[in-house]
Structure 1
Amino acid sequence: MRVALVLNGAAGALLGRPREAIAARLQQILAEAGHEPRVMVGQGPELCRALDAAIASDAEAILIGGGDGTIIAAAERLLPENRAGTGRPLGILPMGTANLLARDLGIPLSPEAALPALLAGIPRRIDVALVNDRIFLNSSLPGIAPRMVQQRERMRHDPGPLKWLRLLRAFFRGFDRGPRLHVVLQADGRPVRLVTRTLAVTNNPLAEGFAAIHTRTALDGGTLGIYAARIDRRLDLWRLIARIVAGTWQHDPAAAALAARRVNVISRRPRLWVANDGENHFLATPLRYRILPRALTVLVPRTDPDTPDMPEL
């Protein structure tokens, strides 16, 4: 099989590691499995050109190594042919920070382990969500989340423990001092007035559990999940955080949850910052959310116990 593999050279998993050596090892795994590999590494505009070249090639499968933002860039390019029913599958090598979609798909979180698992995998169709025609595969977050994304980028090269402590401090400051969103949600036509500091629209509803690294009840249910936190007192915030850690946050009185196929977020502001899968966008209001059922084909590992062992680096 002809395989195009594109690696984001700026992905978190490659920071401090020799990206050429990793690319060579992944190419070796592909060749040893009998495939015809074309491996490309880039970042910024170079990455966009590599993605365009991979899509324009005669590759029968497109594999992408990067974080959730890189996966979105590849999915945007593959979506037209996928929706036409002739699309090639997208394989995800998790190389970001959270790798939420890879977790939901059961893909090993090491790229060296994920590659052979995907080569022996099977295609699966999943939903794609949109806000103002920009796609997201995990979540779209107006409110304080775009500030968190900016903080993450500023601390990209900080050591691990220091980075997470600073992000946690920025999170608390956002809830404590950040501006409130005054919005009206139209969920499948039903209006809901809401005042919150954070709002989340997810591609399929979330399952219970630790919300920072969340899982979803399905990836092809054709429904958006809508979540907001109504925080009036600091006590409400601390109680909600405790329940987030415990995995019972959906039962907290400060947490509001809805499900719908279409959602409009109406605001008095002409534009809102929105974080789509960790990438910030400044979008005109109202924010119009919808879902495209089973619009993207991805590769997932087989659950067959007879799947052969995976090679390691």
Structure 2
Amino acid sequence: MTNDHLQLPPKTALLLINRKSRHGQENLVETIRQLKELGFIVLEELTEDPLKLPDIIRHYQHQVDLVIIGGGDGTLNAAIEGLVDTQLPLGILPLGTANDLARTLKIPVDLPQACQVIATGQYQRIDLGLVNEQYFFNVASCGLSVEITQRLTKEDKSRWGILAYLSMALKMILQARPFRAEIRINGEAIRIKTIQIAIGNGRHYGGGMTVCHDAKIDDQRLDLYSLEMHHWWQILLILPALWRGRHADLPGVRTLQGTEFEIYTRKSRSINTDGEITTSTPATFRVIPQVISVLIPR
């Protein structure tokens, strides 16, 4: 797909909405009405199995100008392979709980405003992270965040929204146990004892936490941090800095930047990508520069 094609006003849109997302079902009819009022021909496909999204996108690739996805970060993550394969531009309707990719791209959570961005916004090429052949937009991590993901139910997220993440994070911090890992970068092996390793491609994750104060989703780099604390209360002390991405110089926090990392652990540990557990260690993380196009506010 050429850049000239990308600049044409898209008219036919494939709309994919996760009915199980926090606001998916209740906003379906209103979303279609608004998109049609903005001049789109809407081809709607609903599935309760996000793993089918890439095949649906491939099926429609010659019939549409762009793909509009309504859901949270997990739904967007599930669709990545289809977007990469077809190179169709992406419009985002933030209908999930955390909506970290939308936050990174400054896409409003207000539905009419998000639809307006899709109709009148500009295209931005963004990077993707890749871990063990699994793409991610925001962050891939192992340790504490996996425990939070495993314990957090859809009912919790639907009922409490972002507060569900905060509440579960506090519970898991009290139970956090360090594990041994080895980080390899540029031929160097770094052995650590940590409670969490997170590797970010975008700017936000975990409901608004910041990967690094200057992280961007098109900076062609990955930002790694490792929490190497001995006591749960030390984690609580650095939470404000973690939220703002200002944790690089704090005691007990290791930060690294690069285009590729390898992580090894004594026993295989699950890895969380954009809020879903998708792979495990040993793991190789890479940045794939400017691989898909997304509509963002002008």
TM-score bucket of the superposed structures, by smaller chain: 0.7 to 0.9
The TM-score with structure 1 as length reference comes to 0.82
Aligned match of 2:256: 258
Aligned match of 2:216: 218
Stretches (4+) displaced over 6 A = none
Percent identity reads: 24
Aligned match of 2:30: 25
The TM-score with structure 2 as length reference comes to 0.85
Instruction: Report the AA paired with residue 164 of structure 1.
Output: L
Q: 1:111 to 1:126 in 2, by over 3 A?
A: same
Instruction: Report the AA paired with residue 52 of structure 1.
Output: D
Aligned match of 1:276: 273
Following the alignment from structure 1 to structure 2, what is the Cα–Cα distance between the partners of residues 197 and 176? Answer: 12
Following the alignment from structure 1 to structure 2, what is the Cα–Cα distance between the partners of residues 164 and 119? Answer: 32
Following the alignment from structure 1 to structure 2, what is the Cα–Cα distance between the partners of residues 104 and 154? Answer: 23
Alignment check: 8 A CA contact 2:53 2:79 kept: no
Q: Does residue 2 of structure 2 align to residue 2 of structure 1? A: no
Following the alignment from structure 1 to structure 2, what is the Cα–Cα distance between the partners of residues 211 and 193? Answer: 30
Instruction: Report the AA paired with residue 142 of structure 1.
Output: C
Q: Does residue 296 of structure 2 align to residue 300 of structure 1? A: yes
Instruction: Report the AA paired with residue 276 of structure 1.
Output: T
Q: How does 1:57-72 map to 2 (within 5 A)?
A: 57=60, 58-72=63-77
Following the alignment from structure 2 to structure 1, what is the Cα–Cα distance between the partners of residues 39 and 146? Answer: 43
Work out the number of aligned pairs and report it: 284
Query: SS of 2:156's equivalent?
Result: coil
Query: SS of 1:12's equivalent?
Result: coil
Following the alignment from structure 1 to structure 2, what is the Cα–Cα distance between the partners of residues 64 and 245? Answer: 27
Alignment check: 8 A CA contact 1:27 1:38 kept: no
C-alpha deviation, 1:248, in angstroms: 3.9
Q: State the Cα deviation string for residues 20-78 of structure 1 (Å, max 9, x = none).
A: xx32222222222222111233312xx55465334322111100000111111222211
Q: 1:109 to 1:158 in 2, by over 3 A?
A: closer
Following the alignment from structure 1 to structure 2, what is the Cα–Cα distance between the partners of residues 147 and 273? Answer: 9
Q: 1:296 to 1:56 in 2, by over 3 A?
A: same
Q: Does residue 90 of structure 2 align to residue 77 of structure 1? A: no
Following the alignment from structure 2 to structure 1, what is the Cα–Cα distance between the partners of residues 157 and 265? Answer: 36
Q: 1:234 to 1:37 in 2, by over 3 A?
A: closer
Q: State the Cα deviation string for residues 99-142 of structure 1 (Å, max 9, x = none).
A: 11111111111233201211111211100111111011100010
For the aligned residue pairs, the C-alpha RMSD in angstroms reads 2.6
Following the alignment from structure 1 to structure 2, what is the Cα–Cα distance between the partners of residues 268 and 157? Answer: 32
Q: Which runs of 5+ in 2 are unaligned?
A: 1-10
Following the alignment from structure 2 to structure 1, what is the Cα–Cα distance between the partners of residues 28 and 160? Answer: 24
Following the alignment from structure 1 to structure 2, what is the Cα–Cα distance between the partners of residues 109 and 26? Answer: 13
Instruction: Report the AA paired with residue 258 of structure 1.
Output: L
Following the alignment from structure 1 to structure 2, what is the Cα–Cα distance between the partners of residues 121 and 242? Answer: 33
Instruction: Report the AA paired with residue 10 of structure 1.
Output: K
- Which one of 23, 26, 32 corresponds to residue 13 of structure 1? 23
Q: Which runs of 5+ in 1 are unaligned?
A: 82-86, 303-313
Alignment check: 8 A CA contact 2:176 2:232 kept: no
Aligned match of 2:59: 56
C-alpha deviation, 1:257, in angstroms: 0.6
Following the alignment from structure 1 to structure 2, what is the Cα–Cα distance between the partners of residues 173 and 34? Answer: 47
Q: How does 1:1-313 map to 2 (within 5 A)?
A: 1-14=11-24, 19=26, 22-44=27-49, 47-49=50-52, 52-57=55-60, 58-81=63-86, 87-153=87-153, 155-156=155-156, 159-160=159-160, 164=163, 167-168=165-166, 170-203=168-201, 212-214=208-210, 217-244=215-242, 248-269=246-267, 271-283=268-280, 285-302=281-298
Query: SS of 1:72's equivalent?
Result: helix
Instruction: Report the AA paired with residue 249 of structure 2.
Output: H
Alignment check: 8 A CA contact 1:6 1:54 kept: no
